């Protein structure tokens, strides 16, 4: 196998592994990188990532955008400036080593097959001194279709890599390949798909439905303001359980929103994990749901100021809570009445003074 294929095979295995990690922690790298075997990783800014460190202490001085999770380092909102070397130490012992290239999400190139937009082409750059580097996109595998039983979409993410002609070890993420390279960002490829709902998919939805979703995020949108609806647990890197959105019963796909060209759009930086409502004028009021793998994980109610109709789920929940409080109050009053009655009752043989 050629050096380029060896290097990229690690990338694809890494993306597959992190996609199945704990979704609440963002991306979590599967194995630590040890001295002598440094990991050179390409990631995308604005998307949380967790760097693992085996046997690390659970506390230490951290920046505002990072936190410790059982000894692992979570970067909440990485930027391009956060690219560099990350090491985890216990005394003089090196526990983990990462060299990370956070590629600019603002330069994320999205191409949709149905719109005729092609991915970025490979380019060859000639540097000072006559050295050449080839820039290309290293693609992860396709995610499954985001929904079944109707038109859906599937995605795959790609990272900018550079192959140096004089470096036989293999390609490097563009941000780690040195200066003098033209600006090239990561990619997101989208295409339409349609798959039937098999039995496993139906069972997973039924099992999820046994646990009701009680939390609904409310937004009171101001006129001509914008709102960002972030789907819980969604990640641009996730392979399993891709995210998709609905406005009521209407599916919101990359293709439909592009053709509609309205005030609703999917956020490029998060790969569609965030729904954007721009220049809100009241026509976009209503419920917005996000699903992962066909399971409801978030619901948002967007209304004008001072107009906030409770959701049916909330109405039932409030009614149940009200009934519980009233019943508890009646029970306490009954106990109080019994205690007063007991204290006023004279014992047999007691003589009043």
pLDDT digit string, tens, across residues 78-117: 999 999 998 888 888 888 888 999 999 999 999 998 988 8
Number of structural domains the chain divides into = 1
Task: Give CA–CA dist 216/320, Å, rounded.
Answer: 17
3-state secondary structure of 9: helix
Q: Is residue 276 part of a domain?
A: yes
Q: Of the candidates 172, 147, 155, 170, which has an alpha carbon nearest to the alpha carbon of residue 108? A: 155
Beta sheet of 286-292, edge-to-edge order: 217-220, 295-303, 286-292, 243-247, 250-252
DSSP single-letter state for residue 309 = P
Q: Is residue 227 part of a domain?
A: yes
Cβ atoms within 10 Å of 101's Cβ, excluding its own: 23
- pLDDT at residue 24, as a whole number: 36
Residue entry with tokens 């694809």? 12
Q: Full-prediction pTM beyond 0.75?
A: no
Virtual CA dihedral for 339, 341, 347, 348, nearest 10 degrees? -140
pLDDT average, residue stretch 148-173 = 88
Cα dist from 114 to 75, 108, 111, 154, 264, whole Å: 35, 19, 9, 12, 19
Q: Is residue 287 part of a domain?
A: yes
Q: What are the residues whose beta carbons fall under 8 Å from the beta carbon of 48, sequence distance 6 or more?
A: 25, 26, 27, 74, 75, 76, 77, 78, 235
Q: Is residue 246 part of a domain?
A: yes
The Cα diameter of the chain in Å comes to 117
Q: Is residue 252 part of a domain?
A: yes
On whether the CB atoms of residues 185 and 109 are closer than 8 A, the answer is yes
Q: Write the DSSP assignment of 27-85 as a string of letters.
A: EE-SSPPPTTS-EEEEEETTS-EEE--TT--S-----TTEEEETTEEEESS--GGG-EE
Q: What is the CATH number of the domain that holds 227?
A: 2.60.40.10
Give the residue, 232 or 21, on which the prediction is more confident. Answer: 232
Q: Residue 229 above 80 pLDDT?
A: yes
**Strands 152-164 and 84-90, how do they pair?**
unpaired
Task: Give CA–CA dist 151/3, Å, rounded.
Answer: 40
**Strands 84-90 and 264-266, how do they pair?**
unpaired
CA 233 to chain centre: 5
- pLDDT at residue 59, as a whole number: 55
Task: Give CA–CA dist 200/206, Å, rounded.
Answer: 10
Q: Is residue 188 part of a domain?
A: no
Q: Residue 306 above 90 pLDDT?
A: no
Q: Is residue 132 part of a domain?
A: no
Q: Write the DSSP assignment of 70-123 as a string of letters.
A: TTEEEESS--GGG-EEEEEEETTEEEEEEEEEEE-GGG-EEEEGGGTPPPPPPE
On whether the CB atoms of residues 252 and 191 are closer than 8 A, the answer is no
pLDDT digit string, tens, across residues 190-224: 999 999 987 655 544 444 444 445 456 776 666 67
Cα dist from 10 to 31, 101, 170, 204, 239, whole Å: 11, 15, 11, 31, 16
Cβ atoms within 10 Å of 305's Cβ, excluding its own: 9
Q: pLDDT above 90 covers what percent of the chain?
A: 29
pLDDT average, residue stretch 119-140 = 87
Domain ranges, residue 216:
212-303
Q: Is 326 left (phi over 0), alpha (psi -120 to 50) or beta?
A: alpha
As given in the structure block, the two tokens for residue 258 are 């592009």
On whether the CB atoms of residues 163 and 136 are closer than 8 A, the answer is yes
pLDDT digit string, tens, across residues 45-78: 999 888 888 776 555 545 556 666 667 888 888 9
- pLDDT at residue 201, as a whole number: 54
What is the helix (H) or strand (E) element at residue 344, kind and residue range? helix 312-344
- pLDDT at residue 173, as a whole number: 93
Q: Is residue 216 part of a domain?
A: yes
Q: Of the candidates 84, 83, 98, 16, which has an alpha carbon nearest to the alpha carbon of residue 45? A: 83
């Amino acid at each position: 196998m050629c050096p380029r294929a060896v290097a990229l095979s690690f990338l694809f295995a890494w993306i597959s592994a992190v996609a199945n990690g704990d979704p609440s922690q963002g991306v979590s790298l599967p194995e630590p990188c040890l001295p002598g075997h440094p990991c050179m990783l390409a990631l995308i800014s604005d998307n949380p990532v967790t760097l693992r460190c085996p046997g690390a202490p659970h506390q230490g001085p951290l920046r505002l955008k990072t936190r410790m999770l059982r000894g692992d380092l979570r970067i909440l909102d990485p930027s391009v400036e956060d690219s560099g070397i990350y090491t985890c130490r216990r005394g003089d012992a090196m526990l983990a080593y990462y060299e990370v290239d956070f590629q600019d999400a603002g330069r994320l190139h999205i191409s949709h097959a149905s719109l005729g937009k092609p991915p970025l082409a490979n380019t060859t750059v000639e540097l000072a001194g006559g050295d050449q580097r080839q820039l290309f996109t290293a693609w992860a595998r396709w995610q499954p279709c985001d929904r079944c039983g109707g038109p859906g979409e599937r995605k795959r993410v790609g990272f900018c890599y550079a192959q140096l002609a004089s470096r036989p070890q293999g390609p490097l993420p563009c941000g780690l390949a040195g200066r003098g390279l033209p600006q090239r960002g990561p990619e997101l490829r989208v295409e339409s798909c349609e798959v039937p709902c098999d039995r496993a998919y139906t069972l997973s939805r039924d099992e999820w439905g046994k646990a009701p979703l009680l939390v609904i995020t409310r937004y009171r949108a101001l006129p001509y303001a914008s709102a960002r609806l972030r789907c819980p647990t969604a990640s641009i890197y996730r392979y399993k359980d891709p995210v998709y959105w609905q406005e009521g019963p209407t599916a919101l796909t990359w293709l439909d929103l592009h053709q509609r060209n309205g005030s609703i759009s999917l956020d490029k930086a998060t790969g569609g994990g965030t729904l954007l409502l721009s220049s809100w004028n009241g026509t976009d009021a209503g419920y917005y749901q996000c699903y992962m793998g066909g399971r409801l994980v978030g619901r948002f109610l967007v209304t004008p100021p001072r107009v906030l109709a409770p959701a049916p789920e909330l109405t039932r929940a409030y009614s149940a809570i009200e009934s519980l409080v009233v019943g508890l109050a009646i029970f306490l009053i009954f106990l109080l009445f019994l205690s007063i009655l007991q204290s006023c009752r004279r014992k047999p043989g007691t003589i009043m003074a």
